Amino acid sequence: MSCLIALSVPRGLTRSLLCCGLLALNACTMLGPDYQEPEVAWLSHWQPDLYGEGAARDQQTEKDLRFWWQVFNDPALNRLIEVARQENLSLRIAGLRILESRAQLGIADSGLYPQLQQLNGAVDRVYTRRRGGDLPNNDDNFTSYQAGFNLAWELDFWGRFRRGIESADAAFFGSIANQQDVQVLLSAQVTDLYFSYRTTQLRIVIARENAATQKRSYEIAERVFKSGQDSELDLQQARTQYLATLSTIPQLEITLTNLRNALCALLGRPPGDLPELDGPVNPLPGMEVSRFGEIPARLLLRRPDVRAAAWQVATQSAQIGIAESDVYPAISLFGGIGWSTNTRSGTPDTSTLSVGPHLQWNIFDYGRVANNVRVQDARLQQLIESYQDKVLQAAREIDDAAIGIVKTREQETVLAESVQSSERSLALASKRYQEGYADFQRVLDSQRAVFSQAERRLINQGNYVAAVISLYKALGGGWQATPVQQVIPETVRETMQERSDWGDVISAPLPDNVATPPSTSRN
């Protein structure tokens, strides 16, 4: 920005003004550090260990991460996530924060233009009445008219306003990354709750089937006792085991309802039935749904929450330059036009024109400015450390999920054999009891083992699915660039437009790439 100001000054001051002008122009710079994305030193030599889960690279596509839940091939789950993306309130709030940050960016942009543009005017009716004293009595009244326009423009010599734009720009991109992170969390939450619901349904099925088997054993023991062929001990043990199994069902039904209500909340619905969950109770997905290609370590840096953390660093980095600008004088151009008159006879109309540079400099701040710079720098370093921690946590989540997948699969092999053995044991114990070669306690023990091992296997299968979900979530899967029309539902946008004039802020396209660092030289 360059400005030409013609002033009539004494000749002796010319050299001094020229020197000051040259110094001011040379100082038209950007104070503070330019943003640099924090370097993660260990990432260059770290490779996620999938514990043997790797597959050929060509088996992995970008679609796998954006729509990873489709690997389960479950139409009900696909429908739930589709509805959640349209109706979830947390996702909607994240979209509204994008609009908020875009409006804040508009405020920051306005700092490059005259900060004061003020039109003022006044009409005053004045009545004066003078009585008593040495002067003669007098009554006077008149109307006074005044109008004026004032302009003030602080020149951005030190980059205060440009750094403000840089900070707001980074906050805007950060809000987009946050919205994408909400997509990631929402996809994982819906999928996790859905399969927890299905697991609980299957646990209820197992409990009811075992209760039915134990009830038959109890009825047999009751007949044998009444016929006098056995003691009451077998009867009471059979009854105890049957009732114990039966008592687990109400708690599972409570859990089932809680999971359904949690899903309702994610779908923006009040607690109640979910038609999407109606239908037969199908088995959980098999343990071959997770085949992952080689995961580059740099994929961690593309996670939306990591990108959001990087944008927070960029937002704060610019604040240091804003704070440092307080060390130097604020140089502004001021101008004003005024006119005044009144209805008194003989009173002239008065017009004024004033223009010139102004300087404001707090030369004695008692450490306020220096300490404010230190405050902003400390906050920047805190965010840099938070970014480092975010990347570390992302790596930990990938490793935790990968080992969970491998070990639950190993456990499935053992548990499958255990269930088969327990079922065979029950068959043999029942036969030997009927033939009189074993007591009833062996039958009860075998029934208890069948119930325990079947439930353990089902829970392990649920843990496997949860580990798969966790791995996709840790990889930052489940988000996609969303047009602004889909970020905010049409009905909400219409309501906001009716309430306030949003202009094109509410409809302008959003940037596709939130991984690009902010510009440090916007003018």
Q: Is the pLDDT of residue 520 over 80?
A: no
Give the highest mean pLDDT range of 124-138, 217-231, 358-372.
358-372
CB crowding 184-204: b at 16 or more within 10 Å, else e: bbbbbbbbbbbbbbbbbbbbb
- All structural domains of the chain, each given as residue ranges with its CATH number in brackets, are 66-111+161-327+385-499 (1.20.1600.10)
pLDDT value, residue 515: 67
Q: Is the pLDDT of residue 312 over 70?
A: yes
Confidence at 25, pLDDT banded by 50, 70, 90: very low
Chain segment 353-394, per-residue pLDDT in tens: 888 888 888 888 878 889 999 999 999 999 999 999 999 999
What value does the mean pLDDT take over residues 213-228? 85
Q: What is the DSSP letter of 292?
A: B
Structure-derived torsion over alpha carbons of residues 491, 482, 292, 413, reported in degrees to the nearest 10: -10
Structure-derived torsion over alpha carbons of residues 434, 439, 443, 446, reported in degrees to the nearest 10: -130
Of residues 309 and 481, the one with the higher pLDDT is 309
Of residues 59 and 86, the one with the higher pLDDT is 86
Q: Is the pLDDT of residue 313 over 60?
A: yes
CA distance 293 to 278: 35
CA distance 482 to 259: 29
Q: Is the pLDDT of residue 13 over 90?
A: no
Q: What is the DSSP letter of 54?
A: B
What value does the mean pLDDT take over residues 123-139? 80
Residue type, 500: S
Closest CA to 34 of 156, 155, 162: 162
CA distances from 242 to 151, 201, 215, 400, 453 (A): 88, 20, 6, 39, 17
pLDDT value, residue 51: 65
Chain segment 482-496, per-residue pLDDT in tens: 888 888 888 888 899
Confidence at 26, pLDDT banded by 50, 70, 90: very low
CA distance 311 to 176: 10
Q: Is the pLDDT of residue 31 over 70?
A: yes
Quote the crossing angle between the two packed helices 89-109 and 160-226, to the nearest 10°: 170
Question: How many alpha carbons lie under 13 Å from residue 191 in its C-beta half-sphere?
Answer: 29
The secondary element (H helix, E strand) that includes residue 340 is strand 330-342
Confidence at 469, pLDDT banded by 50, 70, 90: very high
Residue type, 198: R
Q: Is the pLDDT of residue 517 over 90?
A: no
What value does the mean pLDDT take over residues 450-459? 93
> Which ranges of 270-367 would DSSP assign to H, the alpha helix?
304-324
CA distance 165 to 162: 5
Chain segment 269-286, per-residue pLDDT in tens: 999 999 989 888 888 988
* Cβ–Cβ < 8 Å for 471, 194: no
What value does the mean pLDDT take over residues 127-136? 77
Model's pTM, two decimal places?
0.84
Of residues 212 and 522, the one with the higher pLDDT is 212
Return mean pLDDT, the chain: 85
* Cβ–Cβ < 8 Å for 264, 256: no
As a whole-number percent, the residues of the chain with pLDDT over 70 amount to 88
Closest CA to 190 of 274, 251, 250, 249: 274
Give the highest mean pLDDT range of 151-160, 185-194, 276-285, 418-427.
185-194
What residue has token string 């508009």? 106
